[in-house]
C-alpha cells in the first residue's frame, strides 16, 4: 500500500510538472505579455515549489522555522494570485468604462467585507491573524471572481474561453482552500496529510483547466467592445427605460391587487 506521504510527494512532483507545462504553454502562445501578472504568479508558484522542497530537505532547520518560511512563501503566492485576479478583472470589465466604474466599487466592497469577516474570527491573536488572513484573501478572491462573472452575465459582457478558465481555476482553488482550511482547523487535525493532499489535488485541477485553455487559446478570442455613449444620452435613455419598467410593474401590481380585492 502506498504511504500517504509518498502519495503527497508524488502529487507535489506532478504539480511542479504541470506548472512547468503551463509555463511552456504561456510562453508558446505569448500569453506572458497579455497576462503579465498571471504569468508572474505562475513564476512565483514555481519558485515556491522549489523553495519549499529545499526547506523540507534541509534537516538542520528546526520545524518552526520551516513552518514559518513555508507560510511566508504561501503568503507571497496568495498576494501574486490577488494581483493576477486584479489583472483578470481589468481584462474582463475595464473596456466598459461605466460598468467598470460600478464594478470596481462593488468588487472592493465584496473583498473588504469578506476579508474583514474572516479577520474578525482571529480575535486579535497574531498567529491566527496571518493564517486567517490568507484564508480571508482566498475567500475574498473567490467572491470577487464570482461577482465579476455575475456582472458579466447580467450585462452580457463577453468573457473569452481563456478568461473563463483563469476565473474557474482561481475560484475553485480558493474555495477549496477555504473549505479545506476551515475543516482542518477545527475538526480533522489528525488527517492533516490527507487534507494537504486534497489541497494539492485542487491545485492540480486548476492547473489542468489553465493548461487546457492556454493550449486552445487563439488571439481572435479577444472581444471587441461596444461603442461608447455620452453620459447625457445614457442618463436620458436610462431614466426613460426605468419609467417604462415602473409603469409595467405598476400595471402588474394593479392586476394583483384587483384580484385580491375581489377574492
Shortest gap between Cβ of 138 and another protein (angstroms)?
9
DSSP structural state of residue 155: T
Shortest gap between Cβ of 50 and another protein (angstroms)?
29
Show contacts of 99-107: CB within 8 Å, 24+ apart: 99/151, 99/155, 99/157, 103/147, 103/148, 103/151, 106/147, 106/151, 107/144, 107/147, 107/148
Shortest gap between Cβ of 176 and another protein (angstroms)?
8
Shortest gap between Cβ of 62 and another protein (angstroms)?
30
Q: Which is nearer to another protein, 33 or 261 (CB)?
A: 261
Q: How far apart are CA 199 and CA 154, in angstroms?
A: 32
Q: Which is nearer to another protein, 56 or 155 (CB)?
A: 155
Q: Which is nearer to another protein, 45 or 157 (CB)?
A: 157
Of 205, 85, 204, which is closest to residue 137 (Cα–Cα)?
85
DSSP structural state of residue 60: T
Q: Which is nearer to another protein, 80 or 202 (CB)?
A: 202
Shortest gap between Cβ of 63 and another protein (angstroms)?
26
How many Å separate Cα 101 from the centre of its chain?
A: 20
Of 170, 171, 180, 172, which is closest to residue 131 (Cα–Cα)?
180
Residue with cell 502562445: 29
Q: Which is nearer to another protein, 33 or 186 (CB)?
A: 186
Q: How many CB atoms lie within 10 A of CB 198?
A: 17
Residue count (the chain): 263
Q: How far apart are CA 164 and CA 223, in angstroms?
A: 13
For the record, the C-alpha cell of 105 comes out as: 466599487
Shortest gap between Cβ of 166 and another protein (angstroms)?
12
Q: Which is nearer to another protein, 46 or 102 (CB)?
A: 102
Q: Which is nearer to another protein, 127 or 230 (CB)?
A: 230
Shortest gap between Cβ of 13 and another protein (angstroms)?
28
Amino acid at each position: 500500500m502506498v504511504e500517504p506521504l509518498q502519495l503527497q510527494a508524488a502529487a507535489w512532483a506532478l504539480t511542479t510538472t504541470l506548472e512547468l507545462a503551463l509555463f511552456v504553454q504561456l510562453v508558446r502562445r505569448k500569453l506572458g505579455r497579455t497576462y503579465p501578472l498571471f504569468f508572474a504568479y505562475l513564476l512565483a508558484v514555481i519558485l515556491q515549489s522549489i523553495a519549499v522542497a529545499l526547506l523540507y530537505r534541509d534537516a538542520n532547520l528546526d520545524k518552526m522555522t520551516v513552518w514559518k518560511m513555508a507560510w511566508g512563501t504561501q503568503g507571497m503566492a496568495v498576494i501574486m494570485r490577488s494581483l493576477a485576479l486584479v489583472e483578470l478583472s481589468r481584462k474582463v470589465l475595464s473596456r466598459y468604462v461605466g460598468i467598470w466604474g460600478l464594478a470596481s466599487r462593488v468588487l472592493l466592497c465584496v473583498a473588504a467585507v469578506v476579508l474583514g469577516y474572516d479577520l474578525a474570527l482571529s480575535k486579535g491573536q497574531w498567529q491566527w491573524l496571518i493564517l486567517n488572513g490568507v484564508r480571508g484573501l482566498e475567500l475574498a478572491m473567490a467572491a470577487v471572481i464570482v461577482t465579476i462573472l455575475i456582472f458579466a452575465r447580467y450585462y452580457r459582457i463577453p468573457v473569452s474561453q481563456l478568461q473563463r478558465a483563469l476565473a474557474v481555476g482561481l475560484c475553485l482553488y480558493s474555495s477549496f482552500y477555504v473549505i479545506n482550511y476551515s475543516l482542518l482547523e477545527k475538526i480533522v487535525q489528525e488527517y492533516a496529510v490527507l487534507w494537504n493532499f486534497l489541497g494539492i489535488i485542487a491545485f492540480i485541477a486548476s492547473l489542468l483547466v489553465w493548461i487546457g485553455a492556454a493550449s486552445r487559446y487563439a488571439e481572435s478570442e479577444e472581444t471587441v467592445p461596444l461603442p461608447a455613449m455620452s453620459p447625457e444620452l445614457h442618463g436620458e435613455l436610462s431614466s426613460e427605460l426605468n419609467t417604462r419598467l415602473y409603469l409595467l410593474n405598476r400595471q402588474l401590481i394593479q392586476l394583483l391587487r384587483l384580484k385580491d380585492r375581489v377574492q
